[in-house]
Amino acid sequence: MYKQRLFINIILFFFLIGGFSSAKEKMNIQGSTTVLPIIQIMAEEFMNDHPEYEVTISGGGSGVGIAALIDQITDIAMSSREIKENELQKARDKGLDIHEYTIAFDAIAIIVHTNNDPIDQLDSVTLKKIYTGFIDNWKDLGGYDRPMVVISRDTNSGTFEIFNDHILKGEEMAPQVLRLTSNRPILDEVSKNLNAIGYVGFGYLTPQVKVLTLDGVEPTWENVIHGSYPLSRSLYLYTATVPTGISQEFINYVFSDKGQKIVKEEGFIPIK
């Protein structure tokens, strides 16, 4: 009887030890769909290197991620724009100390269908007229007589906010503009629709679409790094306090040679 009880206690001990050892430290990351593909791959590699950690990633847009950070329902926010002063104030009101990390460089590329032959370039003034509804047919730009299908990101998107600041300059988009929630649907729609025009992050570009020159400058690595392309930008991670534990280890990984190699492999521009 004693041996049986001892055996049961040993089994229970190893069960409990196994249970404790299998518990993983968890972290949530939320926000920009532009930054999302970089961080998804980094998280997978990070968890391969650190099986004791579990990282959950979700999109929703830069504004959504920053709001979730301020509400303390995510550990790290991804953003394709700088945090706004009113967002910083909300964070300060809650006693938070926001920390910003520039993790990559990017550009917003203007794209059309590959068979939209006459159109190779635009200037910012004309692009604004397209998105505000003053130009709505390709023949007005020397193209074919076809109505434009104009596509934009939604207002929660950091990509939209950069486009709004630099191109729309605060003016309202035309009501007929189709607003989509992430880069990939825009790329897919433009690749299939001969009449479409849209914009996506540099890292999403594929041969399925034609990239237009903007204000006489192509969205190349060199032009983005030198700041000559009009829609160049940085990509960010934000934490609500000084990061510790898993958050600090993940941010260290992002800036490591391995992490920055992933940035490059995903079509974005590493910071080092």
Q: Give the tokens for residue 121.
A: 């370039």
Task: Give every CB contact of residue 4 below 8 A, 6+ residues apart in sequence.
Answer: none
Residues 6+ apart with CB under 8 A from 70: 87, 90, 91, 94, 96, 240
Helices (H), the chain: 2-22, 36-49, 62-70, 85-93, 124-131, 158-163, 183-192, 221-225, 245-255, 257-265
Please tell me the distance from the alpha carbon of residue 174 to that of residue 151, in angstroms, as a whole number: 11
What pLDDT is stored for residue 202 in this prediction? 87
Tokens of 134: 């003053």
What Å distances lie between residue 179 and 59, 110, 157, 165, 213, CA to CA?
16, 15, 11, 17, 23
Q: Tell me the pLDDT tens digit for each residue of 144-169.
A: 999 999 999 988 888 999 999 999 99
Question: What is the residue whose two structure tokens read 């191109």?
Answer: 167
DSSP-derived 3-state class of residue 135: coil
Q: Which residues of the chain, if any, have pLDDT below 70?
A: 1-22
Listed in order, the ranges of the chain carrying CATH 3.40.190.10 are: 2-105+235-270, 107-232
Between CA 240 and CA 166 the distance in angstroms is: 28
Task: Name the CATH code of domain 2-105+235-270 (choices 3.40.190.10, 3.30.1490.150, 3.40.50.2020, 3.90.550.10).
Answer: 3.40.190.10
What are the tens digits of pLDDT across the range 200-250? 988 889 999 999 999 999 999 899 988 899 999 999 999 999 999 999 999
Alpha carbon distance 96, 92 (integer Å): 5
Please tell me the distance from the alpha carbon of residue 44 to that of residue 54, in angstroms, as a whole number. Answer: 9
The DSSP symbol for 104 reads: E
CB 137 within 8 A of CB 145: yes
Predicted local confidence at residue 22, as pLDDT: 56
Q: What is the pLDDT of residue 17?
A: 47
How many CB atoms lie under 10 A from the CB of residue 192? 11
- Domain 107-232 in CATH: superfamily? Periplasmic binding protein-like II (3.40.190.10)
- CB 180 within 8 Å of CB 189: yes
